[in-house]
Amino acid sequence: MDHYIDIRLLPDPDFPPAMLMGALYGKLHRALFDLEANDIGVSFPDHKTGVRARTPGDRLRIHGERARLDQLMATPWLRGVGELVDCSGISTVPSKVKHRTVRRRQFNTGSPSRAKRYARRHDIAQSEAQELLRAPAERRIELPFIQVGSRSSGERFAMFIEHGQLQGQPTTGPFNHYGLSREATIPWF
């Protein structure tokens, strides 16, 4: 992970930043899926946490080796959002940076489909399952999230993003088609 690309959302009077980031991130997900990429990671350098402020920010940073980022950018994945973003060129990661994981966190948000699955799995009534899941769902989630759609299942969901603790050394490993990983780190600067 020695190179990166910064993509910043431009202000738009018609669409809120969260909607634009969802569209941009969805396009990146489709491109990573189509490329079968497990060696490209993402981070959100301007993210904010907290119940009232949780946002991924207006900048998406894509990390990888130069050749792989060249391959990604040679695809037309930015078509349709290119006029809504400012995309930097491929740059070298600064020396002496920290590293961190950027991963998906899943929470019980109390969705009806979750209660239905829980009821089916435990052979109880759906109303009873909803009651059992109510307390965990009322917890306040402080992580930023992006509304995305899955390329494989077609489902739309809120993807909560957690930036892990800073580390002195990088850790290698695979990234998923959202550019996230539980083990692998990205450079943080």
Residue pair 68/131 in contact (Cβ under 8 Å)? The answer is no
Catalytic residues: 29
Look at the chain and report how many structural domains it folds into. Answer: 1
As a whole number of angstroms, the distance between CA 184 and CA 39 comes to 9
Q: What's the mean pLDDT in 151-169?
A: 87
Confidence of residue 76 (pLDDT cuts 50, 70, 90): very high
Closest of 86, 90, 43, 88 to residue 68, by C-alpha: 90
pTM of the predicted model as reported, rounded to 2 decimal places: 0.82
Q: Is residue 120 included in any domain, yes or no?
A: no
Q: Is residue 142 included in any domain, yes or no?
A: no
CATH of the domain at 166: 3.30.70.2540
Q: Is residue 83 included in any domain, yes or no?
A: yes
pLDDT per residue as tens digits for the range 85-133: 999 999 999 999 999 999 999 876 666 777 788 889 899 998 888 777 7
Q: Is residue 65 included in any domain, yes or no?
A: yes
Q: Is residue 124 included in any domain, yes or no?
A: no
Residue pair 85/78 in contact (Cβ under 8 Å)? The answer is yes
